[in-house]
Amino acid sequence: MAIHPDPALIAPVPFNRATVVGSERRYLLEALANEDFGGTGPFARRCEALLEKHIGVPRALLTTSCTHALEMCALLLDLGPGDEVIMPSFTYVGCANAIALRQARPVFADIRADSFTLDPAGIEPLITARTKAIMLVHYAGISPDVEAIAALAKRRGLVLIEDNAHGAFARQGGRQLGTFGGLATLSFHATKNITCGEGGALLVNDPALIGRAEIIRDGGTDRSRFRRGEVGFYAWQELGSSYTIGDLLAAALLAQLESRDEITARRRTLWERYAQDLQHWAAAAGVALPYVPAGADQPYHVFYLVMPTREARTEFIAQLHDDGVHCASHYVPLHQSAPARRLMLRSQCELTEDVAARIVRLPLYTNMTEAEQSRVIESVLAARL
pTM given for the model: 0.94
Q: 260-382 belongs to which CATH class? A: alpha beta
Pairwise CA distance, residues 275 & 118, whole Å = 24
Domain ranges of the chain: 24-258, 260-382
User: Is the pLDDT assigned to residue 149 strictly greater than 70?
Assistant: yes
Mean pLDDT of the chain: 94
Rounded CA Rg of the chain:
22
Which pLDDT does position 3 carry in this prediction? 41
- Taking residue 381's Cβ as centre, other Cβ atoms within 10 Å add up to 12
Which pLDDT does position 5 carry in this prediction? 54
* Higher pLDDT among residues 9 and 368, named by residue: 368
Query: What is the arithmetic mean of pLDDT over 322-351?
Result: 91
User: Is the pLDDT assigned to residue 206 strictly greater than 90?
Assistant: yes
The pairing of strands 200-204 and 59-63 is antiparallel
Pairwise CA distance, residues 86 & 105, whole Å = 9
User: Is the pLDDT assigned to residue 9 strictly greater than 80?
Assistant: no
Query: Could you say which DSSP state residue 4 is in?
Result: P
Q: 24-258 belongs to which CATH class? A: alpha beta
Query: Could you say which DSSP state residue 158 is in?
Result: -
Query: What is the arithmetic mean of pLDDT over 302-323?
Result: 97
Where residue 341 falls among pLDDT bands split at 50, 70, 90?
A: confident
User: Is the pLDDT assigned to residue 35 strictly greater than 90?
Assistant: no
pLDDT in tens, 82-108: 999 999 999 999 999 999 999 999 999
User: Is the pLDDT assigned to residue 2 strictly greater than 50?
Assistant: no
Query: What is the arithmetic mean of pLDDT over 244-257?
Result: 97
Which pLDDT does position 330 carry in this prediction? 85
